């Protein structure tokens, strides 16, 4: 899964990429089994947004698969740390945010729950 997301991010260059991560929540862990690759509606190198119809499509795909949206993926052309815009939207979408750096080829994952917390990436299945 991580390789697929990294390739998607590299293919989107110079723009940021974005996707929904589909899976299930178990014992405070998000297990990711699939992703829905989406278009960056901002068409920007430094930000992303998901069009409401694309977001709706992603949730429909999750439901059809018997899964739920457990995370948001996007890429950065810099270190894989949340931007100020990311932090704002993390508060509105309190699920795991997985960021891939197309610059350093690294991942990081964060969750906003009363405060911003880095979370460990321990299981993403193909």
Residue 125 within a domain = no
Output helix, strand, coil percentages for the chain, rounded to the nearest 5: 25, 35, 35
Q: What is the pLDDT of residue 122?
A: 65
Q: What CATH number is attached to the domain comprising 100?
A: 3.40.140.10
Residue 126 within a domain = no
Residue ranges for the chain with pLDDT beneath 50 = none
Which residues lie below 8 Å from residue 3, measured CB to CB, with a gap of 6+? none
The reported pTM is 0.90
Residue 92 within a domain = yes
Which residues lie below 8 Å from residue 84, measured CB to CB, with a gap of 6+? none
Specify the number of domains making up the chain: 1
């Amino acid at each position: 899964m991580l390789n697929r997301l990294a390739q998607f991010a590299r293919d989107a260059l110079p723009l940021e990429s974005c996707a929904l991560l589909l899976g299930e929540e178990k014992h405070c862990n998000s297990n990711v089994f699939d992703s829905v690759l989406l278009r960056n509606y901002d068409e920007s190198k430094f930000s992303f947004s998901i069009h409401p119809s694309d977001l709706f499509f992603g949730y429909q795909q999750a439901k059809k698969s018997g899964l739920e949206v457990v995370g948001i993926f996007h890429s950065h052309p810099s270190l894989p740390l949340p931007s100020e815009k990311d932090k704002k939207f993390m508060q509105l979408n309190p699920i795991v945010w997985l960021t891939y750096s197309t610059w350093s080829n690294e991942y990081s994952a964060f969750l906003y729950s009363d405060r911003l917390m880095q979370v460990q990436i321990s299981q993403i299945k193909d």
